[in-house]
Amino acid sequence: MPYNAAAPLEKMIEKLAMRSSLLDGDRAALISLPHSIASYDPGSYIIRDGDIAVRCIVLISGFAFRHKITRHGGRQIVSIHMPGDIINLNNIHIGLSDYNVQAVTSCTAVTIPVKDLQELLIDNSAISAAFFTISLVEASSYREWMLNLGRRDARGRVSHLLCEFAVKLDTLGIGPGQSYDLPMTQEQIGDAVGLSAVHVSRTLKSLAQDGLITMNKRGIGLPNWNRLKDEAGFNARYLHISE
């Protein structure tokens, strides 16, 4: 059952289809890509800065993030990835990794030889356009994160991250929109928004006190989506989820 065996790739295909219309033939071409399954423990590195990558890795379950580290040890998380994401999209055309990818939770992934993907892109312009578009949307997200890091205060930064998470989980059909499990420690949140873990704690508490969010354990509740969005200056447009 080749089709069934390829079921994991469906998550990636759905993401691609969100970005560019794919015909049945395109889907079949994607499913027939040679690939294998890998799994990763929480905290383990999937890719290391400086690696030469020869396989593209598609996250199937779990969460992972990309990060970079300064010479002084400062860590910056640059993106957070969910099932269906290609966690090293750049390696399609650039061998050298300029970031680390680390599993947040237990992760399973599909790995595909870059060579095979490149050949597919040469043969199939629709799929090529879909991958290209994914990369352009990633860049859009990076721009919004830069705005967050450079020009918003602590409350704005944290609430913006919470908003983005809510919308992306909702798109995946994971969270109900009202509340969700945040699979990150406060230290990781801090590394994503350029704050210390301590200050993230304070900021979350402050947001909770003002009724913008509720918290229990790792769960985040969004009792007042509009006020949270307003605090964050959040506009989902940059995610280009539906045009």
DSSP line for 164-220? HHHHHHHHHT-S-SSEEE--S-HHHHHHHHT--HHHHHHHHHHHHHTTS-EEETTEE
Report yes or no: 142 and 79 within 8 Å, Cβ to Cβ.
yes
User: Can residue 68 be called a binding residue for its own copies (CB under 8 A)?
Assistant: yes
Nearest distance, CB of residue 8 and DNA, angstroms: 26
Nearest distance, CB of residue 188 and its own copies, angstroms: 13
Nearest distance, CB of residue 237 and DNA, angstroms: 24
Of the residues 96, 174, 197, 198, which one makes contact with its own copies according to CB under 8 A: 96
Nearest distance, CB of residue 186 and DNA, angstroms: 3
238 binds, among its own copies, DNA, none (CB under 5 to 8 A by kind): its own copies
User: Can residue 29 be called a binding residue for its own copies (CB under 8 A)?
Assistant: no
Token pair of 193 as six digits? 């928004």
Contacts of 83 (CB under 8 A, 6+ apart): 11, 59, 60, 61, 62, 172
Of the residues 54, 139, 174, 198, which one makes contact with its own copies according to CB under 8 A: 139
Nearest CA to 243 out of 161, 86, 136, 126 is that of: 136
Nearest distance, CB of residue 25 and DNA, angstroms: 45
* CA torsion, ordered 57, 21, 139, 90, to nearest 10 deg: 30
Nearest distance, CB of residue 104 and its own copies, angstroms: 18
Residue ranges binding DNA (CB under 7 A): 153-155, 185-187, 190, 194-199, 201-202, 204-205, 215, 217-218
Per-residue contact flags (x/-) with its own copies for residues 99 to 128, judged by CB under 8 A: x------------------x--xxx-x--x
- Closest to DNA by CB, 97 vs 203, is 203
DSSP category for residue 57:
E
With CB under 8 A, what is the number of residues at the site for its own copies? Answer: 56
User: Can residue 95 be called a binding residue for its own copies (CB under 8 A)?
Assistant: yes
Give, rounded to a whole angstrom, the gap between the first and last alpha carbons of the chain.
36
DSSP line for 91-151? GGT--B--SEEEESS-EEEEEEEHHHHHHHHHH-HHHHHHHHHHHHHHHHHHHHHHHHHHH
- Closest to DNA by CB, 100 vs 188, is 188
> Which residues face 66 on adjacent strands?
79, 101
Contacts with its own copies by CB under 8 A lie at 19-20, 66, 68-72, 74-76, 78, 89-90, 92-96, 98-99, 118, 121-123, 125, 128-129, 131-133, 135-140, 142-147, 149-152, 156, 191, 193-194, 233, 237-238, 240, 243
